[in-house]
């Protein structure tokens, strides 16, 4: 494990309690960056941050509900107060309660909009003033291959991820001193299927994940690649999916 150096970045990660967020926190900390883990399951992020520190890395954790702007602001404030700056925000938190639209699971639709879309916007709103003041920063938004290929049961989930791609491109064009990256994973083995309430969709997605899902570390490496580029190099979008995925 590398010790943090003056070149190590302060990196905030939403949804760091499992899957891609957890793998990203561990990967970036092992590379010497200072990571701040946010999620609702406090015990989980406390344990992961503790393990990172035990291995010689630097990590903080703070409860975060991305659906609430105030919660995101408190998360950002903690990191800024502790480290004095914020170099990167990885907007990773997401849910995927997939189902056919005619099931009218309107609560699930709203939940996806609240976490996958509003959550990303809240992250941007919380961190943008800090990055503007610094004159530099990097926002990495985790979208999905579902933003590129729309299939049954994924209509609303895809809509949130298409929106994340659109707002990322708009933000990039508006900001000359901000790097904006979209990382779009394909089927990745994580806990995401646990957020599906429709039993049929859950069984299908769980089977696909087991069959062809790639490890979360593959996405963490793509995020690390984008972060690791020089300040004048902005990686716009990286799509990482199983070779066998259609």
Q: Catalogue the active-site residues.
A: 157
Applying CB under 6 A, among 31, 40, 74, 171 the residue interacting with ligand NDP is: 40
> Under rule CB under 6 A, how many of the chain's residues touch ligand NDP?
31
Asked if residue 24 binds ligand NDP (CB under 6 A), the reply is: no
For residue 76, the SS3 value is: helix
Asked if residue 187 binds ligand NDP (CB under 6 A), the reply is: yes
Instruction: Choose the stretch contacting ligand NDP; rule: CB under 6 A; options: 35-43, 74-82, 129-137, 230-238.
Output: 35-43
Kindly state the helix (H) or strand (E) to which residue 131 belongs, with its residue range: helix 119-134
Applying CB under 6 A, among 191, 203, 215, 244 the residue interacting with ligand NDP is: 191
Asked if residue 141 binds ligand NDP (CB under 6 A), the reply is: no
Applying CB under 6 A, among 57, 94, 123, 242 the residue interacting with ligand NDP is: 94
d(CA 56, CA 213) in angstroms, rounded, equals 30
Q: C-alpha distances in angstroms, 241 versus 41, 161, 222? A: 27, 16, 11
Farthest-apart Cα atoms in the chain, separation: 54
Which residue, 95 or 124, has its beta carbon nearer to ligand NDP? 95
Q: What is the 3-state secondary structure (H, E, C) of 145-184?
A: HHHCCCCCCCHHHHHHHHHHHHHHHHHHHHCCCEEEEEEE
Kindly state the helix (H) or strand (E) to which residue 110 belongs, with its residue range: helix 106-112
Under the rule (CB under 6 A), what is the footprint of ligand NDP? 14-21, 39-41, 44, 64-67, 92-96, 115, 142, 144, 185, 187-188, 190-192, 216
């Amino acid at each position: 494990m590398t010790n943090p150096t003056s070149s190590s970045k302060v990196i905030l990660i939403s949804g760091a309690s499992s899957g891609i967020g957890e793998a990203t926190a561990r990967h970036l900390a092992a590379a010497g960056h200072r990571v701040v883990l946010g999620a609702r399951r406090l015990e989980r992020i406390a344990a992961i941050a503790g393990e990172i520190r035990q291995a010689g890395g630097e990590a903080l954790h703070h409860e975060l509900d991305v659906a609430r702007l105030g919660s995101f602001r408190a998360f950002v404030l903690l990191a800024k107060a502790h480290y004095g700056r914020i170099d990167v925000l990885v907007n990773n938190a997401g849910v995927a309660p997939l189902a056919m639209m005619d099931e009218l699971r309107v609560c699930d639709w709203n939940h996806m909009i609240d976490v996958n879309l509003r959550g990303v916007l809240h992250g941007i709103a919380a961190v943008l003033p800090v990055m503007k003041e610094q004159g530099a920063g990097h926002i990495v938004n985790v979208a999905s291959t579902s933003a590129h290929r729309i299939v049954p049961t994924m209509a609303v989930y895809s809509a949130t991820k298409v929106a994340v791609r659109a707002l990322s491109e708009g933000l990039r064009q508006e900001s000359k001193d901000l790097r904006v990256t979209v990382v779009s994973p394909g089927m990745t083995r994580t806990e995401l299927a646990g957020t599906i309430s429709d039993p049929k969709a859950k069984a299908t997605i769980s089977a696909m994940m087991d069959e062809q899902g790639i490890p979360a570390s593959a996405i963490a490496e793509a995020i690390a690649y984008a972060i690791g580029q020089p300040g004048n190099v902005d990686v716009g979008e990286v799509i990482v999916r199983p070779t066998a995925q259609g």
